[in-house]
Structure 1
Amino acid sequence: MHHLATLLQIAVVYLFALISPGPNFFMVTQLSLAGRRGLGIASAFGVGTGSTLWAALAMLGFAAVLQHIDWLYQGVRIGGALYLLWFGIKLLRSGMRRDTASQNAAPSAPVEPLPPPDRRAWFRTWRAGFLTCLTNPKSCVFWTSVFAAVFPAHPPTWFYGAALALVAAMSFGWHAGLALLFADQRTQRGYKRLRRPIDAFCGTALIGLAAKLAADR
């Protein structure tokens, strides 16, 4: 019974981490707004994969070792900051770009359906979510701290699988929910009207997160 209580503790702590907006939140919502529902789900799956990998590394002790290898940890930190900076600048430029096509279009004109995505689009979106999560060393610190605080000393074998399954389900479920919410048709219509300020805001937020990640030690 105490192992189930430990899983509940992990779930509660991770839930608070999930609902706190960060790079994963802005990445998934932006990809969902600018793309399709399926591609938003793919990005959520990428974030879930990255979260599960970080949890597995922390569980095996590799994440704790990473924190003590200063050059490797700093490399992950700087790489993550540069990746967020690149994506933020891309969104900021999109927000500043004049959308003449939408300005010239009639307000009542029907929206043409987008062509179906190819396999490369699915992979690129999954990779964007995966890299956003994987290049954030805060995930390393978070899972190392959580498991150091609540993980039992000698748990049964099933507990490892249950903990990873819990992390994977919560991460994918939360971010897939965000993807479905922001890919809703009503949300999409609002986004089309406010695309430039939304892109500019998300880009600025990601650039700010990149600066914070680069400044943190």
Structure 2
Amino acid sequence: MENLTLEWISVGLITCLAVISPGPDFAMVSKIAISTGRKAGLLCALGIGAGVTVHLMYTMLGLGLLLSQQSWLLSAIKIIGASYLIWLGMQAFWPDLKAKFWPSSKAQPITDDHPKRLPSSKRALTKITSHPFVIGFICNVFNPKTMLFIVALYSQVISKDTGYLVGAGYGVFIALAHCIWFALIASVFTGQYFKQHIIRYKGFIERTCGAIMMAFGLKMISLN
């Protein structure tokens, strides 16, 4: 019983420290919440929690350690995740670049009045991939640091003698910790104080978050 209590404390502390440490998820949620609103930020937080759940599921099935030992798979995950982060980060600079280099081009919204703008299948795909939940999910699923963190937690901190239900309980806690923390971040950046005092710097903060996401992406590639 005492060992189990110590294990819970260890898992709790390590998880909290890992969650609150600055990373691409933090920059992404901040950017989405500031640019799109609280609802979008909360959906992104849920997407991150769903991505963490995927890592937890294959780790608890015993596949996590096996996958983490496949260098080619880790490299592929790094490249995909890094490319996605860089692409997302570039979106913060795209309006300014477009206005500077293509001032005469005016973006037309995709509505029923412009049915030929994109094929329906492409419009549907764009709508899905640009959804805050999907962005949060993809970014976390292809984050090798999250994968290695969870694998290390279940292989080095959590005892092999720990029951399946207790292990599942750890997983629920880890996923909820991610959801709650990033939901809190989204709420802070869309709160009344932020709107009253910091909203004037909205564009600067968005670009800063975008630059941070690109930096994390480039760092992931350089470590490949």
TM-score scaled by length of structure 1: 0.82
Cα distance in 1 for partners of 2:48, 2:96 equals 24
Q: How many residues align?
A: 196
Indicate if the aligned counterparts of 2:56 and 2:171 stay in contact, CA closer than 8 A. Answer: yes
Indicate if the aligned counterparts of 1:23 and 1:209 stay in contact, CA closer than 8 A. Answer: yes
SS of alignment partner, residue 212 of structure 1: helix
**2:91 aligned with 1:90, yes or no?**
yes
**2:210 aligned with 1:210, yes or no?**
no
Amino acid aligned to 1:158: L
Q: Displacement, 1:122? A: 11
Match of 1:169 among 172, 176, 179: 176
Change beyond 3 A, Cα 1:28–1:138: same
Deviations 1:152-197 (A, max 9, x none): 1122232122111111221111111111111113313445411222
* Structure 2 match to 1:38: 39
* Structure 1 match to 2:30: 29
**2:125 aligned with 1:124, yes or no?**
no
Indicate if the aligned counterparts of 1:95 and 1:198 stay in contact, CA closer than 8 A. Answer: no
Cα distance in 2 for partners of 1:128, 1:205 equals 16
* Structure 2 match to 1:54: 55
Q: Displacement, 1:130? A: 0.7
Indicate if the aligned counterparts of 2:129 and 2:135 stay in contact, CA closer than 8 A. Answer: no
Q: Which runs of 5+ in 2 are unaligned?
A: 100-126
Q: Displacement, 1:24? A: 0.6
Indicate if the aligned counterparts of 1:91 and 1:200 stay in contact, CA closer than 8 A. Answer: yes
**2:194 aligned with 1:187, yes or no?**
yes
**2:159 aligned with 1:152, yes or no?**
yes
Cα distance in 2 for partners of 1:34, 1:50 equals 22
Q: Displacement, 1:96? A: 5.9
Change beyond 3 A, Cα 1:208–1:97: same
TM-score scaled by length of structure 2: 0.80
Indicate if the aligned counterparts of 2:47 and 2:133 stay in contact, CA closer than 8 A. Answer: yes
Q: Displacement, 1:60? A: 2.6
CA RMSD of aligned residues (A): 2.1
SS of alignment partner, residue 91 of structure 1: coil
Change beyond 3 A, Cα 1:5–1:123: farther
Cα distance in 1 for partners of 2:25, 2:223 equals 18
Q: Percent identity?
A: 24
* Structure 1 match to 2:70: 69
Cα distance in 2 for partners of 1:188, 1:33 equals 10
Amino acid aligned to 1:172: C
Indicate if the aligned counterparts of 1:93 and 1:200 stay in contact, CA closer than 8 A. Answer: no
Q: Which runs of 5+ in 1 are unaligned?
A: 99-119
Cα distance in 2 for partners of 1:57, 1:188 equals 41
Indicate if the aligned counterparts of 1:96 and 1:200 stay in contact, CA closer than 8 A. Answer: no
SS of alignment partner, residue 167 of structure 2: helix
Cα distance in 2 for partners of 1:123, 1:196 equals 20
Change beyond 3 A, Cα 1:144–1:95: farther
SS of alignment partner, residue 145 of structure 1: helix
Cα distance in 2 for partners of 1:27, 1:65 equals 29
* Structure 2 match to 1:201: 208
